[in-house]
Structure 1
Amino acid sequence: MQKLNKNQEVIEKMNEFGKSQTPFLFMVDFEMGAPMVIPLHDLDNNKLFYAMNDNFVSYQNFNPINFKDLKPLQIIKKPIGLKAFKEAFDQVLANLKKGNSFLTNLTAETAISSNWSLETLFHKCKSKYKLFVKGKFICFSPETFVQIRESGKISSFPMKGTINAQIDGAEAIILADEKEKYEHTTIVDLIRNDLSRVADKVWVERFRYIEKIKKEDGSELLQVSSEICGELGTLWKERVGEIIFKLLPAGSISGAPKPKTLEIIKEAERKTFESGKRGFYTGVFGVFDGDKLDSAVMIRFIEETSKGLVFKSGGGITSRSSAEKEYEELLSKIYVPIF
């Protein structure tokens, strides 16, 4: 009998847990080389914390901590230089101009230091989705990957387009920006195609609506999102692993067309990541509670490395992008939502 690879093993376990309605947590890295699935009753609640809090579900496996005599948060950033970023950007732009990609998500790591531990940051930050793996990383993501209702309705909420809310007329500016509109529309089309691989009927429920995200300094970002839905049928739990893996990696943090764009990302990000890969950053994690599933794209991400902490961030690049503006956006996303 042929031995299953790691992805196939995780898919089969997720399908098995789905069929038996066994609650589980899953994590899949961007490169899809180290996926994992853990029944919630086997989860080590001392080493892995998660929280999901929105209108769809409310889960968490930890008790809030009341920190006393905590000093104000300080984060010192030591970002990649514009020159180094521009080398990766130019490589992406050359592929875009050749027609190898219509949209490529380019990300980078920024060395940071903080007077708070990762665990303290996790407990103090506020976000729709949070994940902490002791000694590894924290994630405080505002972006849903997919939600699946018991009925089999699947919904995805790609976020693409960010602007400082303090700018006069910020909402009108971001919605009127042709580059941002093209980028967002491309991702919506990609997500529609992705959902069509697993769902019988697919439609756009909402297109380019605005969400507000608070930063630790009290300022706000405006984020542009859309909602795309599909119908999976009533037996979706028996194939939940297949459904999730057919949608990976997430379109909003890769690009289109996906296969060629992933090759471009792999080559370009050798210049922006010391390890040459993203790891769990921009992967997905989620929880199946026995009836429904909620999941997040792992953006807004701090990793603990042998050389210290790194914050990973990025954005979508089109043929209309400029290196300077994309560099500014990359840096603007280096924040922790403490307020």
Structure 2
Amino acid sequence: MRTIKKLSFSLNENLKTSLLLWAQQFDEVVWMDSNNYSQKHATYQAILAVDAFTAIKTDAHNAFDKLKDYQHSTADWIFGYMTYDLKNDVEKLNSNNFDGLGFPDLYYFQPKKIFLFTENSVEMHYLNMVADEIDNDFRTISEINQHPEEPVHQKNIKISIRTSKDNYLQKVEEVLEHIKRGDIYEVNICQEFYAEDAEINPLEAFIQLNRISKPPFSVFLKLNNIFALSASPERYLKKTGTTVISQPIKGTAKRLKNKKKDIEMAQQLAKDPKERSENIMITDLVRNDLSRIAEKGSVSVEELCAIYTFEQVHQMISTVTCSVSQNTSSVEILRNTFPMGSMTGAPKISAMQIIEETEDAKRGLYSGAIGYFTPTGDFDFNVVIRSILYNSSTKYVSFSVGGAITINSVPEKEYEECLLKAKAMREVLHTIL
């Protein structure tokens, strides 16, 4: 039973920092922030969930069945993540590449305390607690806001690249051979940047990354020794009632300081035949995935190849929607569409097999999803890209970047796009290559 209290309220940057500072006393924290980015399908401006009452973590074996049982038994809000490697539970696939992070494949928790922020209010949902505790917590948070702590700044970290440039270029050439043979049409190939024996301040790193990027699907996740600091611009999947939407990203162009040239860059991206081809192929894949669980004839493309502008880059995004039966399980919707098509390729299974053969590191949480379920079975998940992942026990820090390879790909340009996507993470970590 949850105690619920609602207040008229406006969320500002100082209070966001205070909430995050207050949350660090708990072992389990999820902070999700839209950064006031204007988006048609937003429900909340921000969400904070802390302190596990119950939790589930498991490897990929039968992971979706275990999640389904957990969601059904709690019948409550649950927050957490699914790694990319849950693909092995969906299809007959495996993950044998090097894993430096060692995160569980799936990890969710039922929080004792939840804060749901909309534009003009906050709703606090406390589990098995009295209203006085809500008032006391909110007073404490407000006092932190009046006396913010000095941030602890990052030390320089020496980052290594698991795949050398020459090796990456060779891998792209090999993938192009697969495309020429007709094995696949498109595949997302990624590479890992990492540091061992690295000590970072996860909260300070997240605040800096979020300040640089201001994305609509930003997440700070702390699960004991596991941290994800995500500046994701991409939604994987959202369910509201019987409506499901997916918003795959394919197509990237850099921002320019000159306003006129920056607008021209976005217009150039909108017309680029290679970028449009990438996006349309993945949009078609997402349509196919959704058709498995959709009401007949309900899958539609709301937006095709629309241009969205973020702090670091312009992106090409499509929006695909469908209707589902009220009897369709939320977890079954995820199972039938996971992993996100933008991070795999087409055809999906062949692309995932080639990814495993080509890449040098296990993806883990990278290109997986972080999000939540509501008590009624609605959900919202991002795609874990533009994210720093950290295991504080092993002192291993990692971020990965990638891009779609199609028949028209030029290996050197694909490598340059990877470096563009890595820029914000490298800047936050003050990296030395």
**Residue by residue, what CA displacement relative to the aligned partner does 1:218-237 show, whole Å, maximum 9, x if unpaired?**
xx31111110000012234x
With 321-330 and 162-171 compared, the bigger mean Cα shift is at 162-171
Q: Which residue number in structure 2 is paired with residue 138 of structure 1?
A: 228
**Is 1:81 matched with 2:186?**
no
Residues 1:67 and 1:252: Cα distance change in structure 2 (over 3 Å) = farther
**Is 1:108 matched with 2:182?**
no
Letter in 2 for 1:84: N
Residues 1:86 and 1:9: Cα distance change in structure 2 (over 3 Å) = same
Q: Which residue number in structure 2 is paired with residue 280 of structure 1?
A: 365
Residue of 52, 58, 68 corresponding to 1:12: 68
State how 1:145-160 maps to structure 2 within 5 Å.
145-149=236-240, 151-160=241-250
Residue of 375, 380, 390 corresponding to 1:294: 380
Shift of 1:81: 2.7
Residue of 303, 306, 325 corresponding to 1:206: 303
SS in 2 for 1:96: helix
- d(CA) in 2 for partners of 1:73, 1:177: 40
Q: Which residue number in structure 1 is paired with residue 337 of structure 2?
A: 247
SS in 2 for 1:31: helix
- d(CA) in 2 for partners of 1:101, 1:288: 34
Conservation of the 8 A alpha-carbon contact between 1:153 and 1:233: no
Conservation of the 8 A alpha-carbon contact between 2:71 and 2:78: no
**Is 1:30 matched with 2:30?**
no
Residue of 122, 125, 128 corresponding to 2:206: 122
- d(CA) in 1 for partners of 2:61, 2:184: 30
Q: Which residue number in structure 2 is paired with residue 175 of structure 1?
A: 270
- d(CA) in 1 for partners of 2:236, 2:310: 17
Shift of 1:40: 2.1
Letter in 2 for 1:326: E
- d(CA) in 2 for partners of 1:74, 1:51: 34
With 119-128 and 181-190 compared, the bigger mean Cα shift is at 119-128
TM-score (norm 2): 0.64
- d(CA) in 2 for partners of 1:106, 1:205: 27
- d(CA) in 1 for partners of 2:251, 2:381: 21
SS in 2 for 1:314: strand
**Residue by residue, what CA displacement relative to the aligned partner does 1:246-288 show, whole Å, maximum 9, x if unpaired?**
1111101000000111110000003xx2xxx111110112201
Q: Which runs of 5+ in 2 are unaligned?
A: 1-59, 89-103, 126-136, 429-433
SS in 2 for 1:311: strand
Conservation of the 8 A alpha-carbon contact between 1:82 and 1:324: no
With 72-81 and 175-184 compared, the bigger mean Cα shift is at 72-81
SS in 1 for 2:352: helix
Residues 1:328 and 1:205: Cα distance change in structure 2 (over 3 Å) = same
Conservation of the 8 A alpha-carbon contact between 1:158 and 1:187: yes
Q: Which residue number in structure 2 is paired with residue 310 of structure 1?
A: 398
Residue of 353, 371, 380 corresponding to 1:263: 353
Conservation of the 8 A alpha-carbon contact between 1:208 and 1:226: yes
Conservation of the 8 A alpha-carbon contact between 1:110 and 1:310: yes
Q: Which residue number in structure 2 is paired with residue 227 of structure 1?
A: 319
- d(CA) in 1 for partners of 2:158, 2:116: 28
Letter in 2 for 1:81: S
With 179-188 and 204-213 compared, the bigger mean Cα shift is at 204-213
Report which structure shows greater RCO (CA 8 Å, sep ≥6): 1
Q: State the aligned residue count.
A: 313
Shift of 1:38: 3.1
- d(CA) in 2 for partners of 1:229, 1:110: 35
With 192-201 and 73-82 compared, the bigger mean Cα shift is at 73-82
Q: Which runs of 5+ in 1 are unaligned?
A: 215-219
Structure number with greater Rg is 2
Q: Which residue number in structure 2 is paired with residue 164 of structure 1?
A: 254
Residues 1:121 and 1:183: Cα distance change in structure 2 (over 3 Å) = same
Conservation of the 8 A alpha-carbon contact between 1:51 and 1:130: no
- d(CA) in 2 for partners of 1:180, 1:52: 37
TM-score (norm 1): 0.81
Give the root-mean-square deviation of aligned CA atoms.
3.4
- d(CA) in 2 for partners of 1:82, 1:255: 22
Conservation of the 8 A alpha-carbon contact between 1:281 and 1:301: yes
